[in-house]
Amino acid sequence: MGIESAFGEGFLTTKIDTVVNWARANAMWPMPMGLACCAIEMMAFAGPKYDASRFGSEVMRFSPRQSDLMIVAGWCTYKMSHAVRRIWDQMPDPKWCIAMGACASTGGMHRSYGVVQGVDNFLPVDAYVSGCPPRPEVVLHALMTIQEKVKKEHSVLLDV
């Protein structure tokens, strides 16, 4: 089939986008931005029972410069939003973001003057996770959703 038969055994043809996206999607190192009780569920998501490393997210990187995926877990105050954005700006491109839980997605029950009503007011969020706090499975599902998204991206080649 196709050009592989002409090359013989030991060759695989693909697109560079596919290879790059495969690598990116399966080594999605999270930056844990644990702000409240969702952070406990995020630890379970990374721990042995739910085991995010099955999906390539084996290491939580506490340095923004080594991470690809920010998980904002918990309610974010206006005062904290500046720190979160600063960390986000230090993460190298390409990067993705999960708003984990009701508070990070919409402000949740913290309908007050001090809490940002959804971190999408200052971050580009790729996946929202409902729940208060969400189960670790749902965070895994958000991670898989982002992996699907990454695999469909044009990462190197642009269609003109």
Partner 1 sequence: MQVPDKFNPVTAAIQALDPSGQVQISVTRGDVQLLVPRTIIIDVLRTLKDDFGFTYLIDIVATDRFTSEDRFEVIWNIISLKDQSRIFVKTRVPEEDPSLPSTVDIWPAANWNEREAYDMMGIRFTGHPDLRRLFLPEDFEYFPLRKEFPLMGVPGSIPLPSTSPDVD
Interface residues toward partner 1, by CB under 8 A: 78-79, 81-82, 84-86, 89, 111-114, 116, 121-123
Nearer to partner 1, 18 or 112 (CB): 112
Smallest CA-to-CA distance from 53 within 27, 76, 81, 33 is with 27
Measured distance CA(100)–CA(120) in Å, rounded = 11
CB atoms under 10 Å from CB of 25, counted, come to 22
H helices of the chain, in order, are 2-7, 16-25, 38-46, 78-90, 101-106, 136-151
